Structure formats: C-alpha cells, structure tokens
C-alpha cells in the first residue's frame, strides 16, 4: 500500500516506472566491422551545445589535415532524433550573444532569420492579482537584458546544423540514440534505435534495425531530460556527492500582434500562489519578435503539491491579465510548445566526463535560472568540448577530464557558481521572502545568504487535489484566445505514428492523486483518466503517447521518457 500524508497526498516516487536504465540502455560492442558505422566523434543531440561542439571541432580540424584524415570518412557525426536539427528545441528565448559571436565571428544578427530583435528595453513586472500590476523601477538586475538577442532557438539550431554540414559533419536526423556503447569502463559510441516497429514492438514492412555507431569520442548534448546522459550518470555513478536535480516546466506561444511591443518583460506573482506551502515560484514572460510578433510564456516548478498545477493552463490564465491582454489584443496565435527545464544548476551537476565521453549543455545543469538563460552557456560549453576533444584526439587519448577543468574556469563555471543557490532559495520560501533572499544572493554573486539550499527530487513531493485547487482559475478554451492542449499539440506539427511503440514508461495503475498530477502536469494531454475510473483509490492511467511533444516532465515527476522512433514528435519552427 502507498504511504499517504494526512491530507491524502501521495508521492509519485512510490510508483517507479518499469525501467532499468543501465540494463536496458547500456550495451557492449558486438557488431563486426561491416555491420557498424565508424565515426571520429559522435555528437548526440542537434541542439546549441552539440552543434557548437561540432562546429568548433571542425574549425580546428580544418587546420589539421593529418588528424582529419585519421578520423576517417566521417570525422564528426551529429545524431538528432527530430526531423531536422531544431525540430525539438524550444526556449523563451533571450540569448546573451557573446559565446555565439566567439564561435562565429562573422555572424550578422541582422541577416540571420534566427535573430528577431536586439533588446533595447526591459522590465520586471509584479502581477499583484488578476487585475493589477506594478512595473518595478529600476528593472531588477537579473531581468536586465539590454543588448541581448531575442531568438528562435529552433531556427538557430537549423542554421548551426547547416554550418556544421558545410564544414564536413554528417548529420543523422530522424535517428534516436537508444543505447550507450560501453567497453569496460569507457564509452565507445552509441546504438541507434530501431525504426518501423508496431505498437507491440513487432517488425513492420518498413523495419530498419538500429546500428552501432563507434566513435573515438562521444558528446552527450541531449538537452533537458538526457536519455543517455541519465543512463551514463547511473552507469558511472557521476552524481555521487551531488544534490538531486530539480525541474521546472515552461509553455510558450508565439502571437502575431496588431501593434509593436518593444521591451523584454519578465513577470512574477499572479497567477502562481505566493505561499511557501504551494511551492509555485513561477513566472511569465513577454518578448518582442520583430515588429509584429511576440513570444509569451509561463514557467512553474515540477514539485508543486497541488496536483492540478498545469503550465499550459497557467499560461492561458496568465493571458487573461489586462497587462497581457493589452499586448495580444486583436492578434493571432501562430505557434505553441512546451519543455521541461533543468533547474538544479551546479548543486546537482554531475561529473562531466568519463573516458571516451563528455556531457554538454542543459543535461549537465548548465542553466542560469536567476537570469533565465541557458542557450549561451550550452554554446560556450560545446565550444570548450570541441577544443578539449581535439587536443586529446591529437594526443591519441580519450581522457577528456581537461574539459571538466576548462568548464570550471570558463564563463559557464563562473556563472553557475554565482547563481547556484538562487533558484533553491526562491523555491524554499514564499514569494516575498524567497524573492528577497534570491535577490540578495544575486547581487552578492552567491556570497549571501550563507549556506546552500537543500534540493529534493520532484517526484518525492506528495500530491493531492486540494479543496481549492489552482485549476479553479483556469479559463475555458474558446479556440481564439484561450486554447486547449490538443489543439496546441496539433500546431506543433507532431508527426508521431499512430501505430508506433509506446516510448513512455509509467506505472499505469496508481492512486488517483498521482494520476491527477500526471494528467494536469502534461502540456500535451498524454495522461488521461477515463470516466469509468473510480473517484478515489487506484485508477488506470491511459497513455496517449502519440500526443507527446517530448517535454521531459514525466521523467521528473515519477515516470521515464525514452526516445521515440526517430522523426517522431514535434516539428518546431519559430519557438
């Protein structure tokens, strides 16, 4: 029987998913020379970190024809599960441009379709209730963004992939990295996922088996939920002595608007509860995307005890505030997406290297949650990874531990050290105290208050439907201004086959409280409680896995997302 708190709350962690990551997702090399793919460097993930690593490595190899020849016909391979690089990438996104300009000195933001606006004005806004707002003067320093760029991360990744391909990379899109290839105590590549299996795993007429991809170096740059990154952390015990990772989830819409909106705005307060016990230290944003578009979104932690917390519906509620309505009035929604966010930062960052492999980007907690930025850190880390791998391959070694030291001494390490306590302080207190303490932490660069907050796994937080749930605030969808989850998934271009195998692992019979938390949590409506299920006690959860936009939230909240067939999932264009 599940342990139940006094208010009837139950922790999802009591119902672990049927998965053994090390047993299922680690393999020893078996394929003969004619049955495997040999590459120099395998990069898992076509996001900003992986693509930065590929481009920097190829820049160095262009000046070293001898090493380039030694790496064979495919010196660099990028393995990306989306239809194209960028198809599964989503961010706000306001980016610090420095690392990108270092990697591409000739980058022209005015001529690149990924860059919409150079920020000229910014603001922090407190939404005091559902009607009132207060713009803070001056703008809080962590919300200062003048000189940064508003970008489309999906478009930026497409552009970076083009640069890598022109430089000699082999880009394997629609290809899932299913297993980590391990020989003894070193990573020697990956195994790609099968294609063309049916719902029960049977081979269809289009079946193609996965392949072993052998590499002298492997870069794990999978983004937030990191299927193979998580597997490597467990296999090599990389998180020893670290606090557990914590997660948040964001939902985003892009609107075509009638009037220009000229400033980057971050909000806090309503509709999230300000009370400590509700653990809802969330907030919203409004970013200009050129003259006639805006990005609007909302972020909330994934450890809220109220089972009805839904980031998608909180975003719809956020849009009902007069401050937001004034921006969107008369406009039209043109895009939507959702993604979980690694929020533990340096406190939960695992060891970044094992023999033969390095971890880059958000999968390694490289997100500045105080400033709400991670793209520039992923690019900076990818560049460092490319340089360190080049040096070690040149020396005939697969010991990449120098990458770890280089990260510590870089912009990435400096930033993460300064803000390592920031989000934990905000989450550990109510809005007023949490904002004050996290603000003090920010301006003193982590020196005050003393000590470090304690992080807890999101899935260990007990959940229940309270007497007055946050869902009472959610507006009814009208298909014009307020939208439901399924119509939102539709406009992502989600291409998952109806007869594809289920890639989501959960315990399907759980207490109603846990099922409700999963149902509300998911922005894509994947988890459903049928009408014939009891109102109390255990229920059967229906998994509509073809809706999945691979946000990763279920991995934080008690399940396990695994890679779907390559090419499945969303096809983000402008988010």
CA dihedral 429, 430, 435, 441 (to 10 degrees): 0
pLDDT at 327 over 70: yes
The per-residue pLDDT for 429 is 85
Side-chain-side CA neighbours of residue 346 (13 Å): 20
Q: What is the distance between the terminal CA atoms of the chain, rounded to a whole angstrom? A: 43
pLDDT at 6 over 70: no
Helix (H) or strand (E) holding 37: strand 36-44
pLDDT at 238 over 80: yes
The per-residue pLDDT for 430 is 80
pLDDT at 294 over 80: yes
CA 449 to chain centre: 29
Closest CA to 318 of 271, 249, 266, 250: 271
**CATH entry 3.40.50.1820 includes domain 21-88+157-244+346-418:** no
One DSSP character per residue, 509-571 reads EEEHHHHHHHHHH-TT--EEE-TTS-SSSEEEEEE-GGG-----HHHHTT-EE---STT-S--
- Interacting residues of 2 by C-beta distance below 8 A, sequence separation 6+: 10, 14, 15, 511
Residue percentage of the chain with pLDDT more than 70: 99
Query: In this predicted model, what pLDDT tens digit does every residue of 69-113 receive, in sequence order?
Result: 999 999 999 999 999 999 999 999 999 999 999 999 999 999 999
Longest CA–CA span in the chain (Å) reads 69
pLDDT at 1 over 70: no
Q: CA-to-CA distance for 74 and 78, rounded, in angstroms?
A: 10
The per-residue pLDDT for 236 is 98
Average pLDDT of the chain to the nearest whole number = 96
Domain boundaries, the chain: 21-88+157-244+346-418, 118-147+246-342, 458-561
Q: How many other C-beta atoms lie within 10 A of the C-beta of residue 190?
A: 31
| Mean pLDDT score, 438-443 | 94
The per-residue pLDDT for 2 is 63
Q: CA-to-CA distance for 523 and 533, rounded, in angstroms?
A: 22
The per-residue pLDDT for 495 is 86
One DSSP character per residue, 301-334 reads ES--SBTT--HHHHHHHHTTSHHHHHHHTT-EEE
Residue percentage of the chain with pLDDT more than 90: 97
The per-residue pLDDT for 171 is 98
Q: CA-to-CA distance for 223 and 572, rounded, in angstroms?
A: 15
The per-residue pLDDT for 276 is 93
For residue 254, what pLDDT band results from cuts at 50, 70 and 90? very high
Query: In this predicted model, what pLDDT tens digit does every residue of 126-172 receive, in sequence order?
Result: 999 999 999 999 999 999 999 999 999 999 999 999 999 999 999 99
Of how many residues is the chain composed? 575
| Mean pLDDT score, 381-385 | 98
Query: In this predicted model, what pLDDT tens digit does every residue of 35-50 receive, in sequence order?
Result: 999 999 999 999 999 9
pLDDT at 330 over 80: yes
CATH architecture for residues 118-147+246-342: 2-Layer Sandwich (3.30)
The reported pTM is: 0.98
Query: In this predicted model, what pLDDT tens digit does every residue of 52-74 receive, in sequence order?
Result: 999 999 999 999 999 999 999 99
SS3 346: helix
Class of 458-561 per CATH?
Answer: alpha beta
What is the phi/psi pair of residue 187, to 5°? Answer: -85, 130
Closest CA to 296 of 356, 251, 253, 235: 253
Domains 21-88+157-244+346-418 and 118-147+246-342 share a fold: no
pLDDT at 267 over 90: yes
The per-residue pLDDT for 439 is 92
Side-chain-side CA neighbours of residue 548 (13 Å): 30
For residue 225, what pLDDT band results from cuts at 50, 70 and 90? confident
pLDDT at 4 over 70: no
The per-residue pLDDT for 328 is 98
pLDDT at 3 over 80: no
- Interacting residues of 17 by C-beta distance below 8 A, sequence separation 6+: 505, 506, 507, 558, 559, 560
Query: In this predicted model, what pLDDT tens digit does every residue of 458-496 receive, in sequence order?
Result: 999 999 999 999 999 999 999 999 999 999 999 999 989
The per-residue pLDDT for 363 is 96
pLDDT at 416 over 70: yes
The per-residue pLDDT for 427 is 83
- Specify the higher pLDDT residue, 7 or 29: 29
pLDDT at 5 over 70: no
Q: CA-to-CA distance for 403 and 265, rounded, in angstroms?
A: 36
Ranges of H-type helices in 6-97? 21-25, 48-62, 65-70
C-alpha radius of gyration, the chain, whole number = 23
The per-residue pLDDT for 357 is 98
């Amino acid at each position: 029987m599940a342990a139940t708190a006094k208010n009837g709350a139950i922790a999802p962690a009591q119902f672990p998913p049927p998965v053994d990551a090390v047993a299922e997702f680690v393999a020893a090399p078996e394929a003969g020379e004619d049955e495997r793919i040999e590459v120099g460097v395998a990069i898992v993930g076509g996001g900003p970190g992986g693509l930065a690593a590929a481009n920097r490595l190829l820049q160095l190899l262009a000046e070293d024809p001898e090493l380039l020849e030694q790496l064979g016909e495919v010196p660099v391979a990028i393995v990306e599960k989306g239809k194209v690089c960028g198809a599964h990438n989503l961010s706000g996104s306001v980016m610090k441009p420095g690392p990108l300009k270092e990697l591409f000195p000739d980058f022209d933001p005015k001529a690149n379709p990924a860059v919409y606006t150079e920020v000229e004005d910014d603001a922090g806004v407190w939404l005091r209730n559902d009607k009132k707002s207060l713009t803070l003067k001056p703008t809080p320093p962590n919300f200062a963004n003048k000189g940064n760029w508003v970008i489309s991360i999906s478009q930026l990744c497409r552009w970076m992939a083009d640069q890598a391909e022109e430089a000699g990379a082999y880009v394997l899109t629609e290809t899932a990295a299913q297993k980590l290839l391990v020989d003894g105590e070193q990573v020697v590549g990956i195994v790609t996922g099968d294609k063309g299996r049916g719902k029960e795993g049977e081979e269809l007429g289009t079946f193609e088996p996965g392949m072993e991809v052998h590499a002298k170096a492997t870069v794990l740059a999978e983004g937030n939920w990191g299927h193979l990154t998580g597997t490597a952390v467990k296999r090599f015990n990389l998180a020893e002595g670290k606090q557990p990772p914590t997660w948040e989830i964001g939902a985003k819409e892009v609107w075509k608007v009638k009037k220009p909106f000229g400033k980057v705005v971050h909000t806090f307060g309503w509709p999230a509860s300000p009370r400590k016990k509700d653990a809802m230290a969330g907030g919203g944003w409004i970013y200009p995307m050129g003259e006639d578009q805006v990005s609007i979104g909302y972020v909330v932690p994934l450890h809220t005890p109220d089972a009805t917390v839904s980031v998608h519906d909180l975003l719809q509620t956020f849009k009902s505030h007069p401050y937001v309505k004034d921006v969107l009035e008369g406009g039209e929604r043109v895009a939507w997406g959702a993604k979980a966010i690694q929020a533990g930062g340096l406190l939960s960052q695992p060891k970044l290297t094992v023999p033969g492999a390095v971890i880059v980007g958000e999968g390694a907690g490289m997100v500045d949650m105080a400033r709400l930025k991670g793209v520039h850190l992923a690019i900076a880390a990818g560049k460092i990874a490319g340089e360190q791998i080049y040096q070690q391959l040149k020396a005939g070694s697969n010991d990449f531990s120098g990458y770890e030291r280089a990260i510590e001494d870089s912009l990435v390490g400096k930033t993460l050290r300064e803000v390592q306590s920031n989000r934990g302080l905000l989450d550990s207190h109510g809005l007023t105290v949490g904002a004050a303490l996290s603000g003090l932490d920010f301006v003193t660069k982590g020196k005050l208050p003393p000590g470090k907050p304690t992080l807890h796994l999101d899935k260990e937080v007990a959940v229940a439907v309270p007497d007055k749930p946050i869902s009472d605030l959610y507006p009814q969808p009208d298909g014009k201004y307020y939208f439901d989850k399924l119509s939102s998934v539709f406009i992502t271009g989600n291409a998952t086959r109806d007869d594809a195998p289920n890639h989501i692992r959960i315990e399907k019979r759980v207490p109603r409280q846990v099922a409700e938390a999963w149902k509300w949590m998911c922005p894509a409506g994947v988890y459903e409680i049928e009408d014939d299920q009891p109102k109390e006690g255990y229920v059967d959860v229906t998994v509509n896995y073809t809706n999945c936009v691979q946000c990763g939230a279920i991995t934080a909240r008690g399940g396990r997302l695994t890679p779907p067939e390559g090419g499945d999932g969303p096809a983000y264009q402008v988010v």
